[in-house]
Structure 1
Amino acid sequence: MQAITSPVTSTPSRATLWGNLISVYILWGSTYLFIHFMTEQMPPLYMVSIRYLIAGSILYGYARLTGTPAPTRVEWRSASIIGVLLLTISNGCLSVGLQYIPSGMAALLGGLLPVYLLTLNWVSFGKKRPSNLAIAGLIVGLIGIYLLVKPDKLQGTGGIDAKLIGVGLVAFGNFSWAIGTLLTPRLTLPSGTIFSGMQMIIGGIATMLVSLVLEPVTPMSIFEAPAKAIWSMIYLIIFGSIIGFSSYSWLARNAQPQLLSTYAFVNPVVAMLLGTTFAGEVFSSQSFIGAIVALVGVVLITLGKK
């Protein structure tokens, strides 16, 4: 699947809309596990910065070579705001948080995102109350997330303090992601692939600067990374960044916030299944029930998106 680059002013087709949603549903659900693999033996912020610098350069270069005009100064400033919120802060917090909690739990905490999106859009950004059906779907989805998170056997890598650090980082990252998502259609931005590339370049540069201050790395530390980290980063560049993030950027400009927020209910299901299969994380019968309940919430929010 290629990233969709339809302009904001066009009316998206159902196939385009759901193609991008499925991309975000499935591909982003897998990124939690691969971020865990990528940062097992390497500093997390450093690896995140390298990932986005490479992916952003590829997307930006492709867009310019295929005739996309160079962005204006205003567009670069707007893309910088979104890139820092979505990538430096949000994904940076996620990558560091995964050092303290398992990938499945981090994905489950993504269930907080619809709360942030719908609430912020209601009280601040859009001043628009969600439909009763969407609110019902949100409640059902949160119940499903609770059932997924609740199993006591889902253990992290440290004690209770370490888990609280991980949960706090991921929750704060989701809040930053919600603000960036709601700001996206309100700023002057180029459409399509070049916008995704600009965000990643700025986010990658900002994250690299933070990494060089906080982590024991140099710009050349990538040559010391083990093969597992490199292959995981390549997967994240192609499927998480170039395809998945481009799809999300398109959805942020063309889809209703409550419809966009449904991916936070699907990603945990994908992440838990992958975590169980490849990382030894527990997926109990109660977790399975929670996954089904969360998917019911997705259906209700989707039906209530208008």
Structure 2
Amino acid sequence: MQAVSSPVTNSPTRFVLWGNLISVYILWGSTYLFIHFMTEQMPPLYMVSIRYLVAGALLYGYARLTGTPAPTRTEWKSAGIIGILLLAISNGCLSTGLQYIPSGMAALLGGLLPVYLLTLNWVSFGKKRPSNLALAGLVVGLIGIYLLVKPDKLQGTGDLDSKLIGVGLVAAGNFVWAIGTLLTPRLSLPSPTISSGIQMIVGGLVLLPFSLAVEPVSLFSIFDAPSKAIGSMIYLVIFGSIIGFSSYSWLARNASPQLLSTYAFVNPVVAMLLGTTFAGEIFSSQSFVGAVIALIGVILITLGRK
């Protein structure tokens, strides 16, 4: 994705903005299904770290080969900080938390991200109170997420302590993701493509030693992965990381936090539809109502942005 160098006219800016939003809405919504396929028979932290290392190397190499200037030491440090927050800590917490709680419960907790974004931007980062319409959209969106993932049926099999660990990890991961998102436009970062590459490389390098220490893998276990896991990882590298994450990084620099936060309401809807179509998951009438309500929340937040 291209960074907008200056606000020349409203039309190109609006087109690029919504193009990146749609990319995050659709492509990141599809990653739930492919992460499931990727980690069915392979440890999650290991596969996530390999995914980021491959995607990061491709992005960084492409940026340098096409003439993007080498980042300065300050830009490396800034992009590395964002990579540690978003990809190593946040996604590491999510991947580990999913070992303790059902994925539907994790999706419900993911709906709290807009609350973190708007609240942190209100009380700390931006000191900007969201409009009443945006706050109403948050409430409506959270109700939709609640209905969408059918929490009344998410009992799981683990004990209470395990569930508390899982909930705590996923909630902490979302909180750190919100911090990284709001911190992004406040740091000195290189161009979007090379910045995304650095973030993925650093995130992968931080995650890999943890994986080797706690998971039953070696450095070269990727060569023993089944074809389904490899194919899913290739999809995630191209569409989840290179395209989707680059779009998110651009939005973190150029979109308002409350508009950016709408992806947390749309992604579960996309994930539920794909899961129903390709993984045999049941899309109940309650889930359909939840999806509609979540999208209404997105519309209210969009209309209420200042």
User: Which category of TM-score, normalised to the shorter sequence, fits these structures?
Assistant: over 0.9
In the aligned structure 1, how far is the partner of 2:71 from the partner of 2:284? 49
Q: More deviation in 8-17 or 207-216?
A: 8-17
Percent of counterpart pairs with the same letter? 82
Partner in structure 2 of residue 32 of structure 1: 32
What secondary structure, in the 3-state scheme, does the structure 2 residue paired with 1:13 have? helix
Give the AA of the match of 1:255: A
1:101·1:156 contact (CA, 8 Å) conserved in 2?
yes
How many corresponding residue pairs? 303
In the aligned structure 1, how far is the partner of 2:6 from the partner of 2:253? 10
1:7·1:192 contact (CA, 8 Å) conserved in 2?
no
1:45·1:208 contact (CA, 8 Å) conserved in 2?
yes
In the aligned structure 1, how far is the partner of 2:269 from the partner of 2:156? 18
In the aligned structure 2, how far is the partner of 1:260 from the partner of 1:183? 14
Partner in structure 2 of residue 209 of structure 1: 209
Partner in structure 2 of residue 52 of structure 1: 52
Partner in structure 1 of residue 2 of structure 2: 5
Alignment RMSD (CA, Å) = 1.7
In the aligned structure 2, how far is the partner of 1:28 from the partner of 1:194? 20
Give the AA of the match of 2:2: T
**Distance verdict in 2 for CA 1:175–1:96, change over 3 Å:** same
Q: More deviation in 45-54 or 169-178?
A: 169-178
Partner in structure 1 of residue 125 of structure 2: 125
Q: Which runs of 5+ in 1 are unaligned?
A: none
1:8·1:254 contact (CA, 8 Å) conserved in 2?
no
Give the AA of the match of 1:165: I
1:113·1:174 contact (CA, 8 Å) conserved in 2?
yes
2:295 maps to 1:298? no
- Written as runs of structure 1 = structure 2, the 5 A alignment for 1:80-229 is 80-154=80-154, 156=156, 158=158, 160-229=160-229
Report deviation, 1:102: 4.2
**What's the TM-score once normalised by structure 1's chain length?**
0.94
In the aligned structure 2, how far is the partner of 1:116 from the partner of 1:30? 23
Give the AA of the match of 1:200: M
What secondary structure, in the 3-state scheme, does the structure 1 residue paired with 2:47 have? helix
In the aligned structure 1, how far is the partner of 2:275 from the partner of 2:100? 15
Report deviation, 1:171: 1.6
Give the AA of the match of 1:13: T
1:107·1:267 contact (CA, 8 Å) conserved in 2?
no
**Distance verdict in 2 for CA 1:148–1:208, change over 3 Å:** same
What secondary structure, in the 3-state scheme, does the structure 1 residue paired with 2:111 have? helix
In the aligned structure 2, how far is the partner of 1:118 from the partner of 1:70? 34
**What's the TM-score once normalised by structure 2's chain length?**
0.94
2:79 maps to 1:79? yes
Report deviation, 1:218: 1.6
Give the AA of the match of 1:29: G
